[in-house]
């Protein structure tokens, strides 16, 4: 359970919330559970986003973090504790999470927004396994994802 800025408590995990990536079902609760153990992560919301030229949905994690957060620690944790298909491909660092009227984390809106750098104002990151870290999602990387040029790296 989490407590929001208004003092309301709500469940962070939605049972049965899954998406399919690389031919595998990914349980968002499992991924959220791993990421939630990373120091500095205060709230985590995992969902699947559509990537052009790919079947299924890639993992994306929206995070609220504090000063103890480290991208390096997060990368190490998801690499060691999650199978390759369940590791988030994208990160969104946000100052606060939107919730539904029943105080669940909002997934529909963020899933629909995807990783569009043209509309999302929050910092976005891409998991680059060749470099072994999360890197800022630059316009160049975004265009390569849109055109399918990065397809072999996913």
Segments making up each domain of the chain, as ranges? 2-153
CATH class of 2-153: alpha beta
**Mean pLDDT score across all residues of the chain:** 88
Alpha carbon 124 to its chain's center: 10
Report d(CA 76, CA 134) in Å as an integer. 10
Q: Using the predicted structure, report yes or no on whether residue 92 has a pLDDT greater than 70.
A: yes
Instruction: Please check whether residue 18 is in contact with residue 28, taking contact to mean a CB–CB distance below 8 angstroms.
Output: yes
pLDDT in tens, 94-142: 998 877 666 677 777 888 888 999 999 999 999 999 999 999 999 999 9
Average pLDDT over residues 32-49: 96
Percent of the chain scoring above 70 in pLDDT = 88
* pLDDT confidence of residue 14: 47
Q: Which residue has the higher pLDDT, 7 or 82?
A: 82
* pLDDT confidence of residue 150: 81
């Amino acid at each position: 359970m989490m407590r929001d800025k208004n003092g309301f408590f709500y469940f962070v995990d939605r049972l049965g919330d899954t998406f399919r990536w690389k031919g595998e079902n990914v349980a968002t609760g499992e991924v959220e559970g791993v990421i939630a153990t990373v120091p500095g992560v205060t709230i985590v919301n995992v969902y699947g986003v559509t990537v052009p030229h790919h079947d299924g949905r890639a993992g994306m994690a929206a995070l609220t973090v504090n000063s103890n957060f480290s991208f390096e620690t997060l990368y190490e944790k998801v690499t060691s504790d999650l199978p390759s298909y369940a590791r988030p491909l994208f990160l969104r660092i946000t100052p606060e999470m939107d919730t539904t009227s029943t105080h669940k984390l909002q997934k529909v809106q963020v899933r629909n927004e995807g990783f569009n750098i043209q509309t999302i104002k929050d910092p976005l990151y891409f998991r680059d396994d060749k470099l072994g870290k999360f890197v800022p999602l630059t316009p160049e990387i975004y265009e390569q994802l849109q055109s399918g040029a990065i397809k072999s790296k996913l």
